[in-house]
Structure 1
Amino acid sequence: MDLQDQLKNLFPEHISENPTEDNQKGDSLWMQDEPIICKYEKRKGKPITILEGYTGATEDFKALAKEIKTKLSVGGSFKDDKIIIQGDYRDKIMNILKDKGFNVKRVGG
C-alpha cells in the first residue's frame, strides 16, 4: 500500500486535482498567431535546437518544454523565454507543434 492509497483511506471525501495534468494535455495552452521560431545552433561543438517566440504565459511554455523533452526522451532547459533541446530535433519538434495547432517557422540550415 503506497502513500496515495493510505491518504485515500484517511480522507475518502477529498478529491485530488493535479494541475500539471491539464497542462500536459495541451488543451490549456494559449495558441498564438505568430509562428514559433525553431532554429539550430552548435554550442561548444554540440548541436542544440532552440524554440523561441511564444507570447503566452511562461508556465504554458514551460509545460510545452517538458512535454517535448518527454516525447523525445532528450535533455533540455527553459531559459530566457527560450526552450533549449539537446540535439538536432527540428523536424520532430516541428511535427509535434504542428499537431498541437501551432504555426512553426524553421530558421537556419
Structure 2
Amino acid sequence: MDLKDQLKNLFPEHEETAEPIKEKSDIWLQDEPIICKYEKRKGKPITILEGYNGATQDFKKLAKEIKKMLSVGGSFKDEKIIIQGDYRTQIMQLLKDKGFNVKRVGG
C-alpha cells in the first residue's frame, strides 16, 4: 500500500486534482528592477546589468547562464554583470521569463 492509497483511506471524499508543478527558481527574485544598460568601452559595445541586491553567488549563476545562452564572453565585477556586445533585448527577455523586473537604460 503506497502513500496515495493510505491518503484515500483517510480522506475518501477528497478528489485528486492535477496541478502543474511550477519550476522553482534557485535564484532570489527581487522587487526593484535590474538595470540593463548599454555602453561603449574602447569602441566596443557592452551590456551591463546592475542593481541586483540578492546573494552574490546567485548573480554569478545568472551571469554564467546569460553568457552560455548567448555564446558570448563577459565577466562579473563590482556587483555588475558585463556582457560583450549589445544583447539588451535578448537579456531582458530572458530575465522577464525568469520572473525578474528589468528596466532598460540608455539608447
- The question of a shared fold, defined as TM-score above 0.5 by the shorter chain, is answered with yes
Alpha carbons of structure 1 residues 55 and 26: separation in structure 2 relative to 1, 3 Å: farther
Paired amino acid for 1:79: K
Percent identity of equivalent pairs: 81
Equivalences for 1:1-109 in 2 at 5 Å? 27-109=25-107
Alpha-carbon distance in 1 for matches of 2:94, 2:73: 16
Alpha-carbon distance in 1 for matches of 2:29, 2:73: 25
Residue-by-residue CA offset, 1:55-77 (whole Å, 9 max, x unaligned) = 00000000000000000000000
TM-score of the aligned structures, taking structure 2 as reference length:
0.78
Alpha-carbon distance in 1 for matches of 2:62, 2:101: 14
Alpha carbons of structure 1 residues 83 and 31: separation in structure 2 relative to 1, 3 Å: same
Unaligned runs of 5+ in 2: 1-22
Alpha-carbon distance in 1 for matches of 2:24, 2:75: 19
1 or 2, which has the higher helix percentage? 1
Larger radius of gyration: 2
TM-score of the aligned structures, taking structure 1 as reference length:
0.76
Aligned-residue CA RMSD in angstroms?
A: 1.2
Q: 3-state DSSP class of the match of 1:55?
A: coil
Post-superposition offset of 1:27: 1.1
Moved over 4 A (4+): none
The aligned length equals 85
Alpha-carbon distance in 1 for matches of 2:26, 2:73: 24
